[in-house]
């Protein structure tokens, strides 16, 4: 479990942390991905379901630091309802970092963890629909 310090986070990041969007699970998800960061032990799991037009529905659960919970909330908000291929391009470590005006020192791996798990879940869902995203 990472530090719960609120120092150095933007107001937007703290707002997402205090009121995270898209928390939960999707029972018939096409793709699920889960990762534990080896250094801090923070865990993130993301469920993705695609409709017939490949638009994304997404939920997450996290046992993680402020930055990862906030980034997962923002990332799922950005991904929800847009095509899976767009998620892979638009919701990235960089776009999450930009959205929050950067992350505090030592926390740069948090948006990377979120982007990695989200992309893995989206790619798994696309593969399950017979479309390889890579
Ligand atoms: Fe490790 Fe945030 S401190 S994921």
Q: Which residues contact 49 (CB under 8 A, 6 or more apart)?
A: 26, 28, 29, 30, 31, 56, 57, 58, 125
pLDDT tens digits, one per residue of 41-57:
999 999 999 999 999 99
Closest approach atom of ligand 1 to CA 67: 2
Say if pTM beats, i.e. exceeds, 0.85: yes
pLDDT tens digits, one per residue of 46-99:
999 999 999 999 999 999 999 999 999 999 999 999 999 999 999 999 999 999
CA of 46 to the centre of ligand 1 (A): 16
Cα-Cα end-to-end distance for the chain:
32
Write down the pLDDT at residue 3. 46
Q: Residue ranges of the domains in the chain?
A: 11-128
Of 1.10.10.10, 3.90.1010.10, 3.40.50.300, 3.50.50.60, the CATH number of 11-128 is: 3.90.1010.10
Q: Which of 109, 112, 114, 115 to probe ligand 1 with, by most ligand atoms within 8 A of CB?
A: 109
């Amino acid at each position: 479990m990472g530090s719960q310090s609120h120092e150095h986070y933007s107001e937007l990041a703290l707002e997402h942390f205090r009121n995270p969007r898209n928390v939960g699970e999707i029972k018939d998800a096409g793709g699920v991905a889960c990762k534990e960061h080896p250094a801090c032990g923070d865990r993130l799991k993301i469920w993705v379901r695609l409709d017939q037009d490949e638009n994304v529905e997404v939920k997450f659960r996290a046992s993680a630091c402020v930055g990862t919970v906030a980034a997962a909330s923002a990332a799922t908000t950005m991904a929800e309802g847009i095509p899976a291929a767009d998620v892979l391009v638009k919701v990235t470590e960089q776009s999450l970092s930009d959205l929050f005006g950067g992350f505090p020192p030592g926390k740069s791996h948090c948006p990377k963890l979120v982007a990695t798990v989200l992309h893995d879940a989206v790619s798994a869902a696309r593969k399950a629909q017979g479309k390889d995203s890579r």
